[in-house]
């Protein structure tokens, strides 16, 4: 039940933000723009896909020590070449 509530919360937040930002952007840059109904369905579809992404994240809390380990590892793992992209000159 908690995952369903989280998914609905993300869906509502993404939909609201996208509609607001789209309205502001269109008002500023394209005053005379006319859109079809398809844009509304696209916004709903993208919001749904964003809310589905919550399924892939664990529902447990991560300790501060574990979080700091991952932050430290991601910032200072330059000694490991396994994820580095090599540029050929």
List pLDDT tens digits, range 22-42: 889 989 998 888 888 888 899
Q: How confident is the model at residue 77 (pLDDT cuts 50, 70, 90)?
A: low
Q: Which of 40, 55, 65, 42 is CA-nearest to residue 10?
A: 55
Residue-wise over 17-52: b if at least 16 C-beta within 10 A, else e?
ebeeeeeeeeeeeeeeeeeeeeeeeeeeeebeebbe
Q: So what's the pLDDT on residue 70?
A: 76
List pLDDT tens digits, range 41-75: 999 998 898 888 877 776 667 788 877 887 777 77
Residue indicated by tokens 């992209």 = 85
Helices 2-29 and 38-52, packing angle to 10 deg: 140
């Amino acid at each position: 039940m908690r995952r369903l509530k989280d998914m609905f919360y993300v869906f509502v937040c993404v939909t609201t933000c996208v509609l607001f930002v789209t309205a502001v952007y269109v008002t500023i840059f394209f005053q005379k723009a006319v859109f079809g109904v398809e844009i509304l369905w696209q916004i709903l579809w993208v919001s749904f896909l964003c809310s589905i992404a919550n399924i892939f994240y664990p529902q447990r809390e991560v300790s501060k020590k574990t979080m700091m380990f991952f932050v430290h590892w991601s910032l200072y793992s330059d000694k490991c070449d396994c994820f580095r992209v090599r540029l050929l000159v």
